[in-house]
């Protein structure tokens, strides 16, 4: 699996990939709206892309209506649907290597919830389909020293973490479907996380590895100053 990361893919340099910030109003932030199947990303200013995705038929066609698509690497990583597996490892009795069918066999559920980014945009009434993370973790069997669940993206850069007790709540979903359709590539296909009641940065896209550990890793945005607890006030 190759992460799409090079500057040539997007034309963005580091300065243009200015991180979103909780007080993002003062930041000249650039965001990406990628077109599935196209080699290049359309680059527009943050506010423009929000209006575009909220209202345009392009946004609807991408299944991204109301969302702003984020990717810290500047691209959407590719994967092979035939060979894709999600790993569950670390402090567990039974490490798991799961195909999407095997994930579905562990648990299949839906959760209706609101998606909310810390920068202010909100998408209500979303139906997240997939497996409860708790069921996946139960299947793997946490060892007694497990206290955190660390998440890795196959984009090669993005990471996240949750306390095990939080991860075991039924509102944390390993998402394969959004509003009944398979997750689109911009939204993190084939698997992303959704953590209800927490800001969107916890909801890691292109999820490939779930690692139980005595210690948390410091996630991508946490390394950039975001609080580890992303609970929406």
Ligand X SMILES: Nc1nc2c(c(=O)[nH]1)N[C@H]1C(S)=C(S)[C@@H](COP(=O)(O)O)O[C@H]1N2
Least distance (Å) from ligand X to the CB of residue 176?
14
Alpha-helical segments (H) within the chain: 7-10, 46-55, 57-61, 100-106, 133-140, 164-167, 220-223
In terms of CB distance, is 148 or 158 closer to ligand X?
158
Footprint on residues 163-182 left by Mo ion (CB under 5 A): none
70 binds ligand X (CB under 6 A): yes
In terms of CB distance, is 128 or 206 closer to ligand X?
206
User: Which among 135, 142, 132, 36 is positioned nearest to 93, based on CA atoms?
Assistant: 142
Stretch that binds ligand X, among 37-45, 62-70, 84-92, 141-149 (CB under 6 A): 62-70
In this structure, the dihedral spanned by the alpha carbons of residues 145, 134, 176 and 150, taken in order and rounded to 10 degrees, is -20
DSSP string of 36-48, one letter each residue? TT-SSEEEEEHHH
In terms of CB distance, is 151 or 201 closer to Mo ion?
201
Q: Are 152 and 42 in contact (CB under 8 A)?
A: no
Binding residue for ligand X, selected from 4, 59, 98, 155, defined by CB under 6 A? 155
155 binds, among ligand X, Mo ion, none (CB under 5 to 8 A by kind): ligand X
Question: Whole-angstrom Cα distance, residue 69 to residue 150?
Answer: 23
Least distance (Å) from ligand X to the CB of residue 119?
7
Question: Whole-angstrom Cα distance, residue 188 to residue 73?
Answer: 13
67 binds ligand X (CB under 6 A): yes
Question: Whole-angstrom Cα distance, residue 96 to residue 116?
Answer: 31
88 binds, among Mo ion, ligand X, none (CB under 5 to 8 A by kind): none
158 binds ligand X (CB under 6 A): yes
Q: How far is CA 84 from CA 73, 101, 104, 171, 198, in A?
A: 20, 11, 14, 25, 27
31 binds, among ligand X, Mo ion, none (CB under 5 to 8 A by kind): none
Question: Whole-angstrom Cα distance, residue 187 to residue 15?
Answer: 24
117 binds Mo ion (CB under 5 A): yes
Footprint on residues 197-216 left by Mo ion (CB under 5 A): 200-201
What number of chain residues touch ligand X (CB under 6 A)? 17
What number of chain residues touch Mo ion (CB under 5 A)? 3
Sites of contact with ligand X (CB under 6 A): 67-72, 117, 153, 155, 158, 187, 200-201, 203-206
């Amino acid at each position: 699996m190759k992460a799409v990361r090079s500057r040539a893919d997007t034309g963005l340099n580091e300065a243009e990939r200015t991180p979103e910030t909780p007080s993002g109003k003062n930041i000249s932030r650039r965001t990406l709206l990628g077109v599935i199947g196209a080699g290049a990303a359309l680059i527009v200013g943050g506010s423009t892309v929000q209006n575009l995705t909220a209202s345009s038929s392009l946004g609807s066609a991408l299944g991204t209506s109301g969302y702003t698509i984020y990717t810290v690497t500047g691209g959407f990583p590719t994967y092979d649907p035939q060979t894709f597996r999600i790993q569950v490892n670390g402090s567990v009795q039974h490490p798991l290597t799961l195909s999407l069918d095997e994930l579905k066999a562990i648990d299949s559920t839906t959760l209706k919830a609101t998606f909310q980014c810390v920068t202010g945009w909100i998408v209500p009434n979303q139906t997240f389909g997939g497996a409860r993370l708790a069921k996946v973790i139960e299947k793997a069997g946490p060892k007694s020293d497990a206290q955190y669940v660390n998440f890795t993206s196959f984009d090669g850069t993005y990471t996240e973490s949750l306390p095990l007790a939080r991860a075991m709540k039924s509102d944390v979903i390993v998402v394969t479907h959004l509003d009944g359709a398979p997750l689109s590539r911009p939204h993190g296909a084939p698997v992303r996380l959704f953590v209800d009641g927490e800001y969107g940065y916890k909801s890691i896209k292109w999820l490939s590895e779930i690692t139980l550990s005595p210690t948390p890793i410091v996630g991508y945005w946490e390394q950039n100053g975001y609080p580890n607890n992303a609970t929406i006030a």
